[in-house]
Each structure stands twice: as C-alpha cells, then as structure tokens.
Amino acid sequence: QGAKLAMRNCTIDGSLGYGIDLEYEAHFTAFEGNTIKNCAQYPIVSEDWDGLLDLTADNTFLSNGHNFIDARCRDIDMEDHTTLKAMPIPYYMESGLWISGGYKLTIEPGTQMYFKSGQNVDMQEVVTLVANGTAEKPIIFRGMEDEDSYWNGIKYHSTKQASVMNYCTVLNCGEDTEGFHGGCICIYNDSRLTLTNCTIGKSLYYGITLDGVELLGRITHSNNTFTNCAGGNIWLESGGT
C-alpha cells in the first residue's frame, strides 16, 4: 500500500496467480516496455484508479489466463483532469465506475472496457466526459460476455456542454425495473451531450432512455446506429412521446 516503483523493460512470466497486484495508493512512476505473459490469472490487477492511469500502451501481454487489466476501483472522485489510456488489451471493469469531481475525464481512442454482469458507469453532473474515438479506433463499452443486457449500461448525468461521445460502441446493456425503463445509455435531468457516430445495441430493452422531453433540446446527435434493441431505439420516460 502506497508503494512507488519505476518498471521498465522487465518480463514477468509464469505466475500461478496475477502478474502484478497494485494495492490501494500504489503507483508506478514509470511502466514502459514490459512483458507479462503466461500468468494463470490477470496480468495486472489494480485496487486503485490512479494506479491504472500510470500504465502506458507500450507494454506486451501474452497468453495470460484472463488477458485483461482487472480494474477493481469503482468510486472515483477526480481531483484533476484525467486521461484513461488505451491499452493493447481491454480493461475488465469488475466493479463498474462511479465518477465525480469537477474535472474532465478523457478516454483515449481505442480504449476497450468490458463490464461485469450487473455493473454500470455512473457519470455525475460535474464531470466533463470526452470520449472522442475514431472510425479506426472506437471506444468500446461492452459486457464481459457478449449477451444482450448483460450489464446495466451508462447512467449519464453530466451537465457540461463540452461532453462528447464520438465513435463509441455501447453494447450488451440495458435494464428494466418497475420504476424505470433503462437503455444502454440513460440520460437524466439537465444533462448535455454531443452524441455522434456511435453504435448502441444488444439490449433486451432500449438503446437510449431520456428522462424527460426537455432533453431533446439538450442532446446534439447525428449518425448514430442502433442494433438489436428489443424494446426500441429510444424511450422517453416522461413528458411526451
């Protein structure tokens, strides 16, 4: 706990468990050019959000039992502008994400996040989300298993005008309860968002749920694709049809 280490050009091979276990408040001051291979479990497990941010893409992960970066951190109160880097393997979001703090969260093009069953992303009002992928490198939010409505999707509350989701793929999510019909992306209250070139689908319920009719004037959208949303592409929870 709280340890710091610079790790460059090292090989970890053949662990019966994890390659690296980052406990709470542990940090890499550098993590470059390393290879983690043939580990029975995950190559990296991180209990701390900041530990994930230390990783860089110029590392190699081969033939591990679960070739994902296991992120076990859910409640994140950002204290500065933050970038989640694209890695050569996906992140496994075992605990989902609850993100707050009045700063900008940038997700790099090509980032892949696979979510555990029943988890979600909860984006709070004060967060500016910049998930600006490209056609060649979309940002992927999906279930660990390729099942319809496997996880509970993105609960989006951000009121920041600069928030954007561009070339994002959001799949395998959506939930339905007695009080709320949830889509892969649920947009609430006074939220603002530019949503362009995204693919949304594989939901047993809806693609997008809008909390109220006033959101139709607060969401800028174009060139989005819905696929296999059994309940419909968009559900308006209240205020109109």
pLDDT at 179: 67
Q: What 3-state class would DSSP assign to 52?
A: helix
Token pair of 165 as six digits: 């989701």
Sheet bearing 128-132, strands edge to edge = 82-84, 104-107, 128-132, 164-166, 193-196, 219-222
pLDDT at 67: 98
Q: Give residue 220's identity as a one-letter amino acid code.
A: T
pLDDT at 240: 66
Sequential pLDDT tens for the chain (241 residues):
788 999 999 999 999 999 999 998 888 999 999 999 999 999 999 998 988 999 999 999 999 999 999 999 999 999 999 999 999 999 999 999 999 999 999 999 999 999 999 999 999 999 999 999 999 999 999 999 999 999 999 999 999 999 999 999 999 999 887 666 789 999 998 999 999 999 999 999 999 999 888 888 899 999 999 999 999 999 988 776 6
Residue 93's contacts (CB-CB under 8 Å, 6 or more residues apart) are 71, 113, 114, 115, 116, 119, 121
pLDDT at 212: 86
What distance in Å separates the CA atoms of residue 27 and residue 25, rounded to the nearest whole number?
6
Query: Is 59 in contact with 83 (CB distance < 8 Å)?
Result: no
What distance in Å separates the CA atoms of residue 10 and residue 14, rounded to the nearest whole number?
14
What distance in Å separates the CA atoms of residue 130 and residue 31, rounded to the nearest whole number?
25
Residue (of 131, 187, 179) closest to 157 by Cα position? 187
In angstroms, the Cα distances linking 65 to 42, 161, 227 are 6, 42, 31
Measured in degrees and rounded to the nearest 5, phi and psi for residue 127 equal -85, 135
Q: What 3-state class would DSSP assign to 60?
A: strand
Residue (of 215, 112, 113) closest to 157 by Cα position? 215
In angstroms, the Cα distances linking 84 to 23, 54, 159 are 18, 9, 21
